[in-house]
Amino acid sequence: MKFEMDGWVDPSEKTILKVDLVETEDLRTKYPAMFSQPCEISIGKGWIPLIDRLCSMLQRTHDYNQHMGYTQVTVLQVKQKFGGLRFYYSVPEQVHLSEKTKWSDWASYVHGAVDFAESMSHSICEQCGERGKGRDHHGYYYTSCDAHKL
Ligand SMILES: [Zn+2]
């Protein structure tokens, strides 16, 4: 569906937000334990540095504290919804009773870090990574800088 004559373009056609495979492969290569399962990454490349920082932080914290029962985070899906980042993950529950409390701290930590990254995405252009803001294009919500406004 395309109505270019009156200046309106179906946002699903105009938004060329999807990252190319090379960039998502970089993430998978850099964080093999986090991306050990098939996982869809469908976001613009402007958010890749944000995801990269998030993964780096989570993996590093896990690696340092593994002996305390911090379980490996696995990424399930990374996408955009209502203009913001959605980062779906799993933190397998700790089975050892003695490490349950620390695992619970870890799960809260991961939740907080992901929440913050998702919140940050609302001020970062999904296409280029410059400062952006939330926009509404005929009911299609996205985050962009002025240059990448639809
Ligand atoms: Zn931009």
Domain boundaries, the chain: 20-144
Instruction: Provide the H-helix boundaries in the chain.
Output: 11-14, 21-30, 48-65, 100-120
Give me ligand 1 centre to Cα 49, in Å. Answer: 14
Give me ligand 1 centre to Cα 107, in Å. Answer: 33
pLDDT at 150: 87
Torsion of CA 52, 57, 63, 67, to 10 degrees: -150
Give me ligand 1 centre to Cα 133, in Å. Answer: 10
CB 93 within 8 A of CB 103: yes
Give me ligand 1 centre to Cα 106, in Å. Answer: 34
Quick: pLDDT tens for 102-147: 999 999 999 999 999 999 999 999 999 999 999 998 888 999 999 9
Tell me the one-letter amino acid at 134. G
Give me ligand 1 centre to Cα 57, in Å. Answer: 25
